[in-house]
Homo-oligomer: A and B are copies of this chain.
Amino acid sequence: MALNRDQIITAAIRHLNADPTASMAEIADGIGVSRATLHRHFSSREALFADMGRRALDVWARAHRVAGVEEAIADGSAERLEAALRRYVSELITQSEEFGFALTDSLIAVLPELQAYSRELEDRDEALAAAAQRAGVLRPDVPPRWVGNAVYGLLISVRDSLRNGDIAARDAERLLLETVLHGLAAPAKERP
């Protein structure tokens, strides 16, 4: 057997990142399996997309776990929180090819199961941001949800920048972290 179910999902995400409107036939062709096989693994297009969404959210959840987000929140120290924040962003960038699907597709908002899953992760993001604000790691004068959304948007920036060759892959993590933490203004100047 050439590809198992997981490999098909991975390849499908990769292919749909390049062409978000691809049909089942195009997806199958791009992956290198027949359309019939695709339908044997996923009863419908919706089922395939649901599994891809689940995969993307799993990647997101794994980033939380790997970075020790929960523990850092419980700990509450600035050092732990900042380390978790950096590790978390780094993990998201590394896995952005699979996670990126969640960035673009509105399908997640439709399926109730994924919606709950997504909400849970967003809440944890918010908790992390709020804890980091309390610990003095992040500035307190922005809504905690904005932090997660800003990272989310900058991940799209990274994806597009890499796609266009505007930045080097090895610089992606530094650029995202520097931008979200310190911004792009020249350091010497101002700050009222």
Please give the residue numbers on chain A whose beta carbons come within 8 Å of chain B beta carbons, in ascending order: 19-21, 78, 104, 106, 133, 136-140, 142-143, 145-147, 149-150, 152-158, 160-161, 164, 166-167, 171, 175, 178-189, 191
Contact between B136 and A186, CB atoms less than 8 A apart? yes
CB contact between A153 and one of B78, B133, B145, B156 (< 8 Å): that residue: B156
> How many monomers of this protein are in the complex?
2
CA A153 – CA B145 in complex, angstroms?
A: 16
Given contacts A136-B189, A153-B157, 15 further A-B pairs with CB under 8 A are: A136-B186, A137-B185, A137-B186, A139-B185, A149-B157, A149-B160, A150-B154, A152-B156, A152-B157, A153-B153, A154-B157, A156-B156, A178-B183, A179-B180, A179-B183
